[in-house]
Chain A
Amino acid sequence: MDVKEIVVISGKGGTGKTTLTASLIPYLENTVVADCDVDAPDLHILLHPRLTRTREFIGTKKATIFSEKCCGCGNCINHCQFIAISPAFIVNHLKCEGCGVCELVCPIEAVSLHDVVVGNIYEGETPYGPMIHAKLVPGEETSGKLVSEVRNRAREVAIERGCSNVLIDGSPGIGCNVISSITGASIVLIVTEPTLSGLHDLKRVMDISERFSGKTYVVINKYDLSLDLSEQIEQESNRRGHSVILRFPFHKNIVKAVTEKNIPSLSEKKLFEKARWEDFLRKISDGVKV
């Protein structure tokens, strides 16, 4: 069966990705939700999943030098491209990328590579369906792999449970996390805000979504903070052939809903109705069908 993936990203952080993702979930049927913002996962705070399974994810290898064996020749230090080995032959695990070169050049087998847990993956149930999320061990480098793993697992669960959609909360930026979360997805929703930084970051993240995935839609959050910049965002989106499918005003009640750990689209129904939430939902479901 064909599983459609809808990914919410933003370029700039703090524009309302997670708030939008959480608000969408109650309105999407047959959907598995996946939080791929693995170094700042927040969706579970609003969705309160009941965890059914937790497991560690081994995402990389790291080198260790056994000081009692080390002859101090310095080959490893000289060959390490990541400057991860100190003059005292201690490997900085935050810098080591597990390439294995130190092990290769060590004349006396004083180096070994070992598996490293880079994060935990959580599976659970929410009132709106299954949820997968993960938490990166702070400082780990392989967050893109953890993102792929969460996404793959969400697809598997969708197939097992006969769900037709996976809704993904992505991360800010344009790097490996983001590329891993959107590659090959059916729909990318970019949540932006009418600020110069928002517009700047939007252009960069649109480059990415155009290149790695299917249809791109734009959501302008807090659009009333600057009508002028909202207009510029609209023009830029249209110029690139992407439609702006939701304009949401700034309102303290949204912050209040999040602070009370409620799903804003459920606790602030009136605000959402006013912002033409139904139209937005229809455009998404039309987009999924195509």
Chain B
Amino acid sequence: MIIALCSTGDAMESPVDERFGRAAYFLFYNTITSEMVSVINEAKTAKGGAGALAVQLLVNNKAELLIAPEVGPQALDALKKFKIPAFKQGENTTPELAVLAWGNGSLEMIKDPGNKGLHKV
């Protein structure tokens, strides 16, 4: 399974990013091969629709699961349509710790958008 993570750097030991749409990097960690690919988030500097563009990046990199600080309503809707479940990274400080926490089932699933966005509430 490929897990997408929000990171401020290009390594599993980098500090996690506190934003989803505008995270500096996305890390794609393959739990079977233990390989990791880091991708600079072009949406970070996108002039709008950053959340949507980030979801596109996840889809392009065949992510099957997302671990993020929080996800806006539009992006969450989009993730659901692409069947990518999202989990809260919570107190974990690095992507590596977040993956471990997900592995032992201690991450909470993101069911509601973290902030109100353009959708009706």
Q: Which residues of A pack against B, CB within 8 Å?
A: 58-60, 142, 144-145, 148, 152, 159, 179, 183-184, 211-213
Contacts and interface: CB of A to CB of B under 8 A. Distances in A.
B116 A213 contact: yes
Nearest to A115: B47
Interface residues of B, number: 12
Nearest to A148: B48
B118 to A, nearest CB: 7
A184 B47 CA distance: 18
Q: A-B pairs with the 3 shortest C-beta distances?
A: A184-B115, A145-B47, A212-B116
B81 interface: no
B47 A152 contact: no
Given A142-B47, A183-B115, A184-B115, A211 B22 contact: no
A159 B18 CA distance: 11
Contact of B116 (A142, A144, A184): A184
Contact of A59 (B18, B47, B117, B118): B47
Nearest to B48: A145
12 contacts: A59-B47, A148-B48, A152-B22, A159-B18, A179-B118, A183-B115, A183-B116, A183-B117, A183-B118, A184-B115, A184-B117, A212-B117
A58 B47 CA distance: 8
A58 B114 CA distance: 28
A152 B45 CA distance: 11
B32 interface: no
Contacts of B72: 184
Interface of B: 18, 22, 47-48, 72, 114-118, 120-121
A59 B48 CA distance: 9
A152 B72 CA distance: 15
Nearest to A152: B22
A211 B47 contact: no
A32 B3 CA distance: 35
A60 B115 contact: no
Contacts of B121: 211
A60 B47 contact: yes
A165 to B, nearest CB: 16
A152 B121 CA distance: 23
Given A60-B47, A145-B48, 9 more contacts: A58-B47, A142-B48, A144-B48, A145-B47, A148-B48, A183-B118, A184-B72, A184-B117, A211-B121
A184 B71 CA distance: 12
A69 to B, nearest CB: 28
A183 B48 CA distance: 14
Nearest to A213: B116
A213 B116 CA distance: 6
Contacts of A179: 118
Contacts of A183: 115-118
A184 B51 CA distance: 14
Contacts of A212: 116-117
A213 B115 CA distance: 8
Contacts of A60: 47
A183 B50 CA distance: 14
Nearest to B116: A212
Contacts of B116: 183-184, 211-213
Contacts of A211: 116, 120-121
Contacts of B18: 159
B21 to A, nearest CB: 10
Contacts of A145: 47-48
Nearest to A3: B18
Nearest to B117: A183
Contacts of B48: 142, 144-145, 148
A98 to B, nearest CB: 9
B77 to A, nearest CB: 16
A211 B121 CA distance: 6
